[in-house]
Chain A
Amino acid sequence: MTSRLENKGPYYIDFPGRIKAIQQEMAKEHIDVYLGSRLRTLSWTLDAFCPWRSFVVIPNEGMPAAFTFVIDAARVADESWLDEDHVFGFVPMGGQDQIELIAEHIKDLLKNKKGRIGVENGMSNYLPEGNLTHYEYERFKDALPDCEFVDAYTIIDKLSMIKDEGTINRFREASRIVDVGHKAVYEAISNGGWKGMTETEIAGLAAYAMRKEGSEWEWSYTGGNEIASGYRTGLAGGACTPATRKKLQAGEPLMVDIHAMFMLGLGDHSHNYLIEPVTDRQRWHAQNFLDIVNLTLKTYRAGITPSLLAEQMMAFAEERGFADYMVPGFEHGIGMMGDEWRIGLNDGPFPFWTNPDHVYQENELIICAMQYACPQDNIGFRYENPIVIHKDGCEPLSKYPLTIDEIQ
């Protein structure tokens, strides 16, 4: 995973600066302590991957403290920019369980034991989001009876929305690694190499190639590298395909959606194949998909909104006669590990979903994500690529050629 020694050069992120920015926002909202529990918050503030239940406690001034399961605390301390005096491990022992340990730490920060504590309430369709659970909330309230608890996640969401150069460079490197994974898959399946291969095998050989390049893991909670072949590429509305033991077959499509992580920056790119013999109908579907992806990439820019872009793309698909096969969504949010799915702030008509009228700004980073599925023809395609929003366009971070390769 990330090492504190690597936070330099093009990948440098000013973590103390991030904490100061949070503290400035806390002051505006009269928050004395920020209790972060979401994976996105932990990555964004600690620069360490926290796979176990973890918390970050940010005082209104000074250093934050991280709390995680004791079996992983020394590693988090080793990798984070925080020193070991600011990383605590909790265990089921007197005074050391997560509620009491953190509550006592907060009491020490609030010298008079009263204060306003910002927490991360909410919900997400991303399972590892890490909002404070009802049980945790109740226990913290019991342990800190004189404190007021308020929702404060917007502080992190607002500050993390526009990406700094170090973050973007980490994503650039993760995308370069993903491109190496795609090349390895292409070389392995070309010239009949696909025969006898399963989806899981494709996932594994991509993973091996990416790990050799320095990828930390195939980070997606959707099963790591998502590989689909045949009818599975065309599951209606489907955009989640953990690899199975299904063998690749002649005449079928193949979707290779692979993921790499570099210093908590995420690579996520999907490339598509047709295994020969290829029919004219398959080629028609393939051309439709390539055309709409190209148009979408040309359309993204600062000032556009998800709903405006979707309207334009669906109008194009309708005009071309393939609107029935398009999933009418063209992106999902992305940020340092744990920040996935929702774009922008929680200010849309449906709580904790992307606001369709979110106006993109320069240096926002999203995944351009498009799914084409025609179940009756047992065919589908997926495109994913992290893109940086610029004033007059967008920068796709994966440079892998946009094609649908026909494989012998």
Chain B
Amino acid sequence: MGEAVARFWREIPQRYNFMGNKCGSCERIFFPPREACPFCRRKSMGKMQEVQLTGKGEVVTYTIIHVGPEEFEEQVPYPIAIIKLEEGPQITGQIVDCSIDDIHIGLKVESTFRRIQAEGYTGAIYYGYKFKKCE
């Protein structure tokens, strides 16, 4: 599966560092970055600017995964949440380092750098963001 690496590599700026972008026309911020603003469309073309997001936000909704995909089997039960980032965009991510009972809508979280998946024992290891409770 070594050939799949390019697809991940391309997204390293997002997965490691929350690199999003902003519409130069309406100022809306997007993560992951978009080619054009879906609200301004042609007015935004050529005006999309890179912005680095903080990776901080709060839980909009969540679930506890009890039956996980193969790569995540060892981690069940694990929480997955939709996080609304401070800058506006919403993203999906795992919440770690806290008791399942602590997770609730509105929980403030920040990002932490973790291993997300690996292609078996011989393939590439993919890193990226997960979230933990804000101190």
A and B, one complex?
Answer: no
Interface residues of A (CB under 8 A from B): none
